[in-house]
Amino acid sequence: MIRRSHALTGGVDYTKFIGLIHYAPLTSTSPASRYWGVDQTITYGSSPILSKAAGIVDTGTTLILIATDAFNLYQTATGGVLDNNVGLLSITPSQYSALKNLDFNINGKTYSLTPNGQIWPRSLNSVIGGSSSSIYLIVADMGTPTIGKGLDFINGQKFLERFYTVYDTTNKQIGFAITPYTTATSN
């Protein structure tokens, strides 16, 4: 009998996550529906940042991109200042200490990015042209307002590296689970 690795056939690797995988149907709102699109709500602490909207989950996008009005709310809430050298919001150590969770509610399940999950890896600051002592946030402006027309956010790699993700083409759904890295504090 030949055993095939799930990694080679696209199955779920149960050693990579904790608890259950929670699935969400792919959105029917275009253009997100043409990709791995979902409907979600975003809150910062207890403050709404983005009302239920459609967007995509994308492994080819590094940051978390949100519509301009949502980004402005996030910027105000965090106190971040745009660093034109790197194109990201920069915060002080005291602002970092005050950061709250950034919560993504997808199909009734909340996925939280802790404060550490919201910052660019400090050891890579020089790679993006930043100062080694700076703290940069990984949430950026999409450059368009929330229009409810199907592309109000992109949950990029910085979101995906904190959660185990299952792309279920057969059932037209996407699943997320907590991992040992979801609340990691090393950075």
Could you state, in order of their start, the residue ranges of all structural domains in the chain? 30-178
Indicate whether 106 pLDDT > 60.
yes
Give me the pLDDT at residue 144, please: 86
Nearest Cα to Cα of residue 186 among 117, 139, 109 = 117
Using an 8 Å Cβ cutoff, are 104 and 42 in contact? yes
Mean pLDDT taken over the chain = 91
Query: pLDDT per residue over 24-54, tens digit each?
Result: 999 999 999 999 999 999 999 999 999 999 9
Helices (H) and strands (E) in the chain, counts: 4, 13
Q: How far apart are CA 113 and CA 35, in angstroms?
A: 23
Q: What is the mean pLDDT of residues 166-177?
A: 94
Q: Residue 75 — very low, low, confident or very high, per pLDDT cuts 50/70/90?
A: very high
Burial of 134 (0-12, 13-18, 19+ CB in 10 A): middle
Task: Give the neighbor-by-neighbor strand order of the sheet with 173-178.
Answer: 18-25, 173-178, 163-168
> pTM to 2 decimals?
0.91
Burial class (CB in 10 A: 0-12, 13-18, 19+), 116: middle
pLDDT surpasses 80 at 1: no
| CATH superfamily to which 30-178 belongs | Acid Proteases (2.40.70.10)
